[in-house]
Amino acid sequence: MNNILITGSKGQLGSELNELARFYSDFIFYFTDYNELDITSHTLVQDYIRTNNISVIINCAAYTAVDKAEDQKELSDKLNHLAVENLAKVAKMANAKLIHISTDYVFDGLTHTPYTENDPTNPQGVYGNTKLAGEEAIHEINPSNSIIIRTSWVYSSFGTNFVKTMLRLANDRDELGVIADQLGSPTYARDLASTILKIIPKLSNENVEIYHFSNIGACSWYDFAKAIFDIKNIDIKINALETWEYPTAAKRPFYSVLNKKKIRNQFQIEIPYWRDSLKECLQKL
> Which segments of 113-235 are extended strands (E)?
147-151, 154-155, 175-179, 183-184, 187-188, 209-212, 219-220
Q: What is the pLDDT of residue 69?
A: 96
Query: Is 226 inside any structural domain?
Result: no
Q: What is the pLDDT of residue 206?
A: 95
Q: Which pLDDT band holds residue 57 (cuts at 50, 70, 90)? A: very high
Q: Supply the DSSP symbol for 200.
A: G
Q: What is the pLDDT of residue 118?
A: 97
pLDDT digits (tens, 9 = 90+) for 83-126: 999 999 999 999 999 999 999 999 999 999 999 999 999 999 99
Which helix (H) or strand (E) covers residue 238, if one does? strand 237-241
Residue 255 annotated as catalytic: no
Query: Is 243 inside any structural domain?
Result: no
| Whether the predicted pLDDT of 196 surpasses 80 | yes
Instruction: State the chain's mean pLDDT as an integer.
Output: 97
Q: What is the pLDDT of residue 72?
A: 97
Q: Which pLDDT band holds residue 166 (cuts at 50, 70, 90)? A: very high
Backbone angles phi, psi at 32, to 5 degrees: -130, 150
Query: Is 64 inside any structural domain?
Result: yes
Q: What is the pLDDT of residue 79?
A: 97
Query: Is 248 inside any structural domain?
Result: no
Q: What is the pLDDT of residue 271?
A: 98
CB contact at 8 A, 153 and 187: yes
| Whether the predicted pLDDT of 1 surpasses 90 | no
pLDDT digits (tens, 9 = 90+) for 211-259: 999 999 999 999 999 999 999 999 999 999 999 998 999 999 999 999 9
Q: For the residues 160-185, what does the mean pLDDT come to?
A: 96
Q: What is the pLDDT of residue 275?
A: 98
Query: Is 191 inside any structural domain?
Result: yes
pTM of the model: 0.97
Q: What domain range includes position 81? A: 2-160+185-216+257-271
| Whether the predicted pLDDT of 147 surpasses 90 | yes
Query: Is 50 inside any structural domain?
Result: yes
Query: Is 92 inside any structural domain?
Result: yes
For residue 225, which of 178, 184, 281, 258 has the smallest C-alpha distance? 178
**Can you give the CATH number for the domain in which 55 is found?**
3.40.50.720
- Neighbouring C-beta atoms of residue 247, cutoff 10 Å: 6
| Whether the predicted pLDDT of 210 surpasses 80 | yes
3-state SS, residue 208: coil
Q: For the residues 185-193, what does the mean pLDDT come to?
A: 98
Query: Is 224 inside any structural domain?
Result: no
Catalytic residue, from 127, 155, 222, 255: name it: 127
Q: Domains in the chain: how many in total?
A: 1
CB contact at 8 A, 27 and 107: no
| Whether the predicted pLDDT of 32 surpasses 80 | yes
Q: For the residues 36-42, what does the mean pLDDT come to?
A: 96
